[in-house]
Structures are given as C-alpha cells and as structure tokens.
A and B are shown apart, each in its own frame.
Chain A
Amino acid sequence: MKIYNVLVAFILAILVFGYFARACFAVSPTDAGGALRNAEENLALAYVYVAEAERAGANISELLARLVYAGGLLAEAKNSYGAGDYERAYSLAINCSSAVNNVASEASDLKLKAEEAYGERLLFTVGISSAGLSVLFVLSLFAWRFLRKWYVGRVLKMKPAVEGAT
C-alpha cells in the first residue's frame, strides 16, 4: 500500500511538473514577434551585403543559397505565426537568424576581394593597352615615312596627260 501511494505521488508530481514546465517554457506571441523582427532585419542586412558583393563582381552562389534557405525559413515562420503556432514561428525565426549569421561579413570579404581582383585586372589591361598604343605610335611613324615615300614615288612616275590632246 505504501509503495502504491509513493508511485501515485510520483506520477502526480511528474504530471504537475510537466504542466508547469510547459507553461513556463511556452513561447508567447510577443517572443515570437520579436524573434521574427530580428530574423527579418538580419536577413535584409545579409541581402544588402550580398547584393553589393554581386555588383562588385563576386561569385555569390554559396551566399545566395544561404539567403534562399533563410528566406524559406522566415516565410514559414511568418506563416506559422499567422496560423497561431508561435513556438514553431519562434524556432524557425531563430533558425533563420542562425542561417544568415556571418553572411554579411563573408559578403563584405568577397566584395573586397572582387574589387581587388577588378583593380588588378584593370591595371593589367591598361598596361597592355598602353604598350599596344606605344607600339602602334612608333610603328605608324615609320610606316608613314615609308608610305609617303612610296606615294611620292608613285606620283613622280606618272606620265602627265593633257586632256583633249591627240
């Protein structure tokens, strides 16, 4: 009988603990709303940096895949919030924020590297073009002297023709 009472008390204690633990750890609409706002801001910030990196000519494939994934999570979080499932909304919003964690800094690094690469490429191209122009200038001077000589010689060899002469 004593063991039976202890067992019943133990089961009751677990049930009561479960009820209060659930009440204590349940996610309120305010918490979920806050997590959604954070996720929204983090995702937007990540997008701004990735878009800048893309404009600088960086390869953003990997970062874009993370943005797409995070965007899907945020949309699901918002839809869960709309359907009244605040716990799921909260958890998805937190996952969204984690998914875009470091995306902005990685995009910044990529942008810097892309700009450096562009600068080097531009310098190289300008160098090649300048060398090409210099060669063209020198060659054209020599070519002009030769062509002028050829032209004058050709004119001098021409026989004078008088119009109307028989």
Chain B
Amino acid sequence: MNIEDFKLAYLLSCFCLALIILSPTLAMVIRLPSGEPFSEFWILGPGHMAEDYPFNVTAHEVYRVYLGVSNRMGGLEYYKVFVKFRNQTEPLPDSINGTPSILNPVFEYRVFLKDGEVWEKEFLFSFDNVSFEGNFCRISNIIVDGYVLNVDKAALWDEENKGFYFQVFFELWIYNATALDFQFHNRFVGLWLNMTVPI
C-alpha cells in the first residue's frame, strides 16, 4: 500500500465516523419514503373466523358477524362504515371506477384509528315484517343493534339458485382532509342471504 492509498483509506474512515456522528441529526431531518398506504376491511363469521357466515335466514332470528377495519395509512384516519341492503337487481359499488353503490345507507359506524390500529365490531341483525307472496319475498324492516330500520325490499324467486336472495354489504369511506369531505375508499364486503320461511 502506497501513501496515497493509505491517505484514501484514512479519509474514508474519517467520513464514516462523521456520518455516524451526524446520524441523529439526519434521522430528524430526512424523511424516508414509507410503504404504500392502505386500509384493510373484513367481515368474519360468528366464531371470529372466515366461515359459518349466515346464509339461510328467517324473520325474527338474530344473526351475528364481525366487522373489522385496520389502518395502514401512516397516520390518524377517520373512517365511516356504511351498511347497505339490496336485492339481486340493485347495484353494488363499482370497484373498477371506485364509485360507491347509489343505495342509501341504512346504518353507519364512525371510526377513528391511529396507524397500525384495528377496529372490530359485533354486527347483530335480524329481519322483521317479512312476507311471502307467490314468487315474491318482501322485507320491510331490518333490525341492527336494536334500531328498527325501514328497508322495504322485494326479491323475486331465483329459479337457478333456488331462493329469495338479498345482500347486506358494507362500504368503507375515509375522510379526505384536503377536500374536507368523506370519499369512498373503494373497499366493500358483503353477505348473501337467502330469506326462508320459518318452519
């Protein structure tokens, strides 16, 4: 090793030492890019597992599922969960265009979550004023957490799948602090229900 190489090695080691001394300041000033922000939204069955979801339902029977939201957006977020109810002919949200369903919500939750936090809520629901006429089934009320809510939905008998099909679905909305309004977060989960005559 000649004197120039020795000098270079010495300068490099001094530079490394300087970086170590500067690292606390650099850590406070430089913001490293975080990963892609996202939110998780799920629905679990009565056993807190992705199984045994209610499917064949009757009037006056109480059913239970669990709703969950997880925040990975990198900061405090304000979410709104809309509960909507539809029959087979009514529209779902459009996940390609990121637009919500045009149906009015029948119920809602407000959730504030810090980054990395999880919210979970037991969702109890039942049906009231259900009538069957020929190949029609009409549901007048859905009862959620003790609130009697008017839905007034009718379903035709589905010849192919043999049932009167309705869907309870949940949309996740997030507050946009720039636009000062909620916007659809392009996440929704749903539960198909086949309304049956009580035995």
Chain A contacts with B in 75-102, Cβ cutoff 8 A: 75, 78-80, 82-84
Contact B10 A144 (CB under 8 A): yes
- In the bound complex, CA of A54 to CA of B75 (Å): 8
Residues of B within 8 A of A64 (CB): 76, 112, 114
- In the bound complex, CA of A79 to CA of B107 (Å): 6
Of A9-17, A20-28, A108-116, A128-136, which stretch is located at the interface?
A128-136
Contact A128 B24 (CB under 8 A): yes
Closest Cβ of chain A: how far from B103's Cβ, in Å? 13
Chain B contacts with A in 15-35, Cβ cutoff 8 A: 17-18, 21-22, 24-25, 28-29
Contact A75 B108 (CB under 8 A): yes
Q: Give per-residue flags for B96-118: 1 if the beta carbon is below 8 A from chain A beta carbons, else 0.
A: 00000000011111111010000
**Set B24, B105, B112, B147: member contacting A68, Cβ < 8 A:** B112
Contact B28 A122 (CB under 8 A): yes
Contact A48 B177 (CB under 8 A): yes
Q: Which residue in chain B gives the minimum CB-CB distance to A68? A: B112
CB of A55 closer than 8 Å to a CB of B: yes
**Set B6, B110, B114, B144: member contacting A71, Cβ < 8 A:** B110
Residues of A within 8 A of B149 (CB): 79, 82-83
Majority SS at the chain A contact face: helix
Contact B75 A122 (CB under 8 A): no
Closest Cβ of chain A: how far from B13's Cβ, in Å? 9
- In the bound complex, CA of A50 to CA of B22 (Å): 32
Q: Give per-residue flags for A114-153: 1 if the beta carbon is below 8 A from chain B beta carbons, else 0.
A: 0000100110011011001100100010001001100110
- The interface centre, meaning the residue of B24, B76, B106, B112 with most chain A CB atoms within 10 A of its CB, is B112
Closest Cβ of chain B: how far from A48's Cβ, in Å? 5
CB of B63 closer than 8 Å to a CB of A: no
Closest Cβ of chain B: how far from A53's Cβ, in Å? 9
Q: Which residue in chain B gives the minimum CB-CB distance to A41? A: B180
Chain B contacts with A in 51-103, Cβ cutoff 8 A: 75-76, 78
User: Knowing A54-B114, A64-B114 touch, does A129 contact B25 (C-beta < 8 A)?
Assistant: yes
User: Knowing A51-B75, A136-B18 touch, does A71 contact B111 (C-beta < 8 A)?
Assistant: yes
- In the bound complex, CA of A47 to CA of B149 (Å): 29
- In the bound complex, CA of A74 to CA of B108 (Å): 10
User: Knowing A60-B76, A128-B24 touch, does A136 contact B108 (C-beta < 8 A)?
Assistant: no
- In the bound complex, CA of A121 to CA of B144 (Å): 51
**Set A47, A80, A140, A151: member contacting B3, Cβ < 8 A:** A151
CB of A35 closer than 8 Å to a CB of B: no
- Write the residues of chain B forming the contact surface with A, with a CB cutoff of 8 angstroms: 3, 6, 10, 14, 17-18, 21-22, 24-25, 28-29, 75-76, 78, 105-112, 114, 144-145, 147-150, 175, 177, 180
Sorted nearest first, the 4 A-B pairs with minimum C-beta distance are A71-B110, A132-B21, A75-B110, A129-B25
